[in-house]
């Protein structure tokens, strides 16, 4: 039997496929991970064909049983994948025919590999999105637990990586929570557009067989079938949207990881990561390297690259399906793997992190973090803010020249900059007084941090 005759399209060709072309165009080495979803879609398609009378009950039972047996073989690792059969679809279909005979050849009635693969990817990605949602939920819970524990822990807040105003570590961690909560919402929104079924679009124009796409969608748990056959087989918006959401998630992980790398350095000394989540040096015995957050930071570039790859893949494709779309899977697969591993790493790393409360407080005292509180104090005494800003700037300059904090200056020294300053100024210049004063929704006051944690816990189950 010639190579051409073994192909599903071999009847058109007079000579076998070149060996290089066969290898170059094959996708089975990576799309085999769709096998379970391919078989799930095929079982639903067979049952639909039985419902509309294209297959009889005996044929449906034979096909379904054969497919279930093939899936069992694949999951046991007993299935022989063949590059010559190009992809997961033809490997499964060929095995089905070998197992149950010519009735297996009827399975592909009313469909094409074009709508088949589009359905498989959506089924697979839907499952992965559900798994990612569970992982994000766990990461968000871990952040809330840590934020609540550190609601009173004082630390410097930064702008331009310069000390700005005192905040609490709990408040800072809640900023991380908000970043990941938005990511979870984006993935949930993306799932709605993933959960639409292209099966039944066939190659590009639909099929002349009396298929029931609504029934097939119900069997597969899709919200509804797609509306346009041309768009159904050529659309990869859902994949691009997922990778775009993943790129934002990884960007957030990168920002958080950058802070963990800085905070765990000897120069900052804010936190210490658990030994199990760090590595050492082959030459410097004292080293404890934050490799996990560094890799989280680095893997952002990987996912960003996949986003650009998918956008570029689609940018010049005419309708409908083109072989270019075979290149959609590896970036998508790797993005999912990277996101899931990153979530595992982030969530696993947090509970073992030790916070150096004393060092955080010491850092918050440096850099004149309460200067804005002094300006606000003068405004409440009636001084226009711009004038208050000028007064405090001069006070900071004087304190800096003596390498002192504002709180270390005497009342007489402070009054030299403004007679509006009284003894109660020292309540304002304390770190505790500064954070406690930000007692409003979204503020850094410990009371507000605890209230925000409570609201966030309620939100978790509604995202």
Q: Which residues are part of the catalytic machinery?
A: 160, 281
Q: Which residue has the tokens 């072309």?
A: 21
d(CA 229, CA 320): 9
d(CA 140, CA 460): 8
Residue 166 β-bridge partners: 156
- Over the range 185-223, which residues count as b (16 or more CB within 10 Å of their CB) and which as e? ebbeebbeebbbbbbbbbebebbeeebebeebbbbbebe
Q: Which residue has the tokens 């989280």?
A: 296
Answer for the pair 148, 453: CB distance below 8 angstroms, yes or no: yes
Where does residue 421 rank: exposed (0-12), middle (13-18), buried (19+ CB within 10 A)? buried
- Over the range 88-101, which residues count as b (16 or more CB within 10 Å of their CB) and which as e? bbbbbbbbbeebbe
d(CA 438, CA 139): 27
Residues 6 or more apart in contact with residue 49 via CB below 8 angstroms: 55, 60, 106, 109, 110, 209, 211
CA 334 and chain centroid, separation = 12
3-state secondary structure of 271: strand
Residue 299, φ and ψ in degrees, nearest 5: -70, -15
Long-range (24+ apart) CB contacts under 8 A made by 341-347 are 342/249, 342/250, 342/253, 342/296, 342/299, 343/132, 343/135, 343/136, 343/138, 343/139, 344/135, 345/277, 345/292, 345/295, 345/296, 346/139, 346/253, 346/256, 346/296, 347/135, 347/138, 347/139, 347/142
d(CA 358, CA 155): 9
Residue 355 β-bridge partners: 271
């Amino acid at each position: 039997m010639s190579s051409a005759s073994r192909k599903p399209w071999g009847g058109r060709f007079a000579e076998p496929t070149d060996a290089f072309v066969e290898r170059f165009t094959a996708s089975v080495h990576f799309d085999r991970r769709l096998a379970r979803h391919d078989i799930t879609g095929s079982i639903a398609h067979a049952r639909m064909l039985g419902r509309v009378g294209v297959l009889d009950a005996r044929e449906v039972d034979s096909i379904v049983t054969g497919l279930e047996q093939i899936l069992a073989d694949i999951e046991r690792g007993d299935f022989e994948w063949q590059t010559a059969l190009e992809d997961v679809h033809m490997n499964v279909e060929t095995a089905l025919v070998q197992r149950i005979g010519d009735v297996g050849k009827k399975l592909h009635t009313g469909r094409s590999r074009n709508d088949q693969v589009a359905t498989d990817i959506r089924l697979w990605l839907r499952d992965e999105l559900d798994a990612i949602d569970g992982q994000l939920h766990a990461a968000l819970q871990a952040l809330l637990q840590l934020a609540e524990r550190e609601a009173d822990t004082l630390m410097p807040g930064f702008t331009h990586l310069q000390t700005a105003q005192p905040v609490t570590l709990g408040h800072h961690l809640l900023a991380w929570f908000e970043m990941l909560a938005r990511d979870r919402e984006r993935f949930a929104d993306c799932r709605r557009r993933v959960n639409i079924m292209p099966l039944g679009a066939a190659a590009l124009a639909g099929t002349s067989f009396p298929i029931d796409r609504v029934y097939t969608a119900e069997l597969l748990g899709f919200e509804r079938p797609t509306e346009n056959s041309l768009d159904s087989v050529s659309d990869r918006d859902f994949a691009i949207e997922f990778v775009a959401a993943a790129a934002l998630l990884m960007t957030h992980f990168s920002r958080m990881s950058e802070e963990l790398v800085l905070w765990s350095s000897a120069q900052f000394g804010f936190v210490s990561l658990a030994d199990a989540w760090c590595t050492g040096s082959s030459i410097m015995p004292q080293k404890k390297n934050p490799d996990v957050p560094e890799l989280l930071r680095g893997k952002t570039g990987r996912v960003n690259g996949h986003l650009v790859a998918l956008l570029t893949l689609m940018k010049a494709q005419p309708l409908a399906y083109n072989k270019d779309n075979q290149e959609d899977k590896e970036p998508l697969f790797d993005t999912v793997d990277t996101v899931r591993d990153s979530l595992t790493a982030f969530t696993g790393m947090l509970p073992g992190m030790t916070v150096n409360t004393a060092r955080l407080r010491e850092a918050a005292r440096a850099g004149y973090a309460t200067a804005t509180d002094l300006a606000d104090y003068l405004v409440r005494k009636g001084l226009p803010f711009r004038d208050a800003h000028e007064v405090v700037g001069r006070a900071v300059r004087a304190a800096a020249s003596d390498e002192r904090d504002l709180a270390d200056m005497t009342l007489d020294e402070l009054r030299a900059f403004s007679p509006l300053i009284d003894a109660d100024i020292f309540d304002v210049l304390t770190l505790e007084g500064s954070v406690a004063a930000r007692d409003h929704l979204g503020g850094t006051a410990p009371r507000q941090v605890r209230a925000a944690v409570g609201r966030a816990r309620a939100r978790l189950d509604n995202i």
